[in-house]
Amino acid sequence: MTQTVLITGGSRGIGRATARLLGERGWSVGVNYAQNLRAAEQTVAEVERAGGRALPVAGDVAKEADVVAMFDAVTRAFGRVDALVNNAGIVAPSMPLADMDLARLTRIFDVNVLGAYLCAREAARRMSTDRGGAGGVIVNVSSAAARLGSPNEYVDYAGSKGAIDTLTLGLAKELGPRGVRVNAVRPGLIDTEIHASGGKPERAAQLGATTPLGRPGSADEVAQTIVWLLSDAASYVTGAILDVAGGR
Ligand code: NAP
């Protein structure tokens, strides 16, 4: 049977690569985006070319009503939601904590923590077998920053990803008996547009060269791990946090 996934932040980067790979495996994909409809439409086209079905789904993960509407839209289009890739995330320009203002801190934690929790909650409500769901899988997208701390760059972002690791550990225990596996990937330096949004477009290339594998990772390399965690090949894996970070 065709499986359906909602990928938050599916319009670009790691989310798009995951959508495309799932399309190759015949999945139906809800491609969430915040602003960039054109990018979401390109992802949808790539999924369809790969053999899957896809739908662009607008919404800010930090807004509860948007999150509920996103899940509703995917359910209307494809019948149900079997999986969530909790991927949407942002950084802000590099600076020490002492220079960060409240607006920046609030937005980082709203999107990266509150947004991820709201999406996971919505998935739990719909997938848990004790609530009439059919079970399912959640993959949270954390970051190596959660264990490195990102000093002088973005300790706010690093802390927000620490929360994702903790969510993964707790929710895996909560939802295991209810038919839902919950895991996380912790990407390292991956070649996407997120670094430019933090003011350092060359960051992945420059720092990637200093990792044990000597290069940045690609969005596809993270997506491969996410897709494996979603698959039945990972049927006994829950509560795991997998580094995809080239040894960093
Ligand atoms: P990206 O290329 O900048 O893409 C970010 C995606 O998130 C876009 O699809 C964007 O939508 C969406 N998004 C942003 N804010 C949103 C919101 N409030 N609601 C819904 N969607 C929102 O980023 P990426 O590098 O692929 O990162 C994906 C995830 O991997 C993030 O959680 C990031 O923290 C994590 N990660 C990345 C790296 C790395 O080196 N790239 C390393 C570790 C962890 P629009 O297109 O509409 O803007």
pLDDT tens figures, 185-223: 999 999 999 999 999 999 999 999 999 999 999 999 999
Task: Answer for the pair 233, 166: CB distance below 8 angstroms, yes or no.
Answer: no
Average pLDDT, whole number, for the chain? 98
Q: Which residues pair with 183 in a beta bridge?
A: 139
The residue-averaged pLDDT of 103-128 equals: 98
Identify the residue whose C-alpha is closest to ligand 1 atom 3: 194
Q: What percent of the chain has pLDDT over 90?
A: 99
152 lines ligand 1 (CB under 6 A): no
Identify the residue whose C-alpha is closest to ligand 1 atom 32: 89
- Domain 4-244 architecture: 3-Layer(aba) Sandwich (3.40)
Cα–Cα distance for residue pair 175/43, rounded to 1 Å = 30
Which DSSP letter does residue 131 get?
Answer: G
Give 11 Cα–ligand 1 centroid separation in angstroms.
Answer: 9
61 lines ligand 1 (CB under 6 A): yes
The radius of gyration of the chain from alpha carbons, rounded to an integer in Å, stands at 17
- Is this prediction's pTM over 0.95? yes
Three-class SS state of 127:
helix
Phi, psi of 136 (to 5 degrees): 170, -165
Three-class SS state of 18:
helix
Is beta strand 4-7 parallel, antiparallel or unpaired with respect to 83-86? Answer: parallel
Q: Which residues are catalytic?
A: 157
Ordered by start, the domain boundaries in the chain are 4-244
Task: Answer for the pair 144, 186: CB distance below 8 angstroms, yes or no.
Answer: yes
Which DSSP letter does residue 65 get?
Answer: H
Cα–Cα distance for residue pair 48/79, rounded to 1 Å = 18
pLDDT tens figures, 124-160: 999 999 999 999 999 999 999 999 999 999 999 999 9
* Nearest atom in ligand 1 to 34's CA: 47
Structure token pair of residue 238:
């829950």
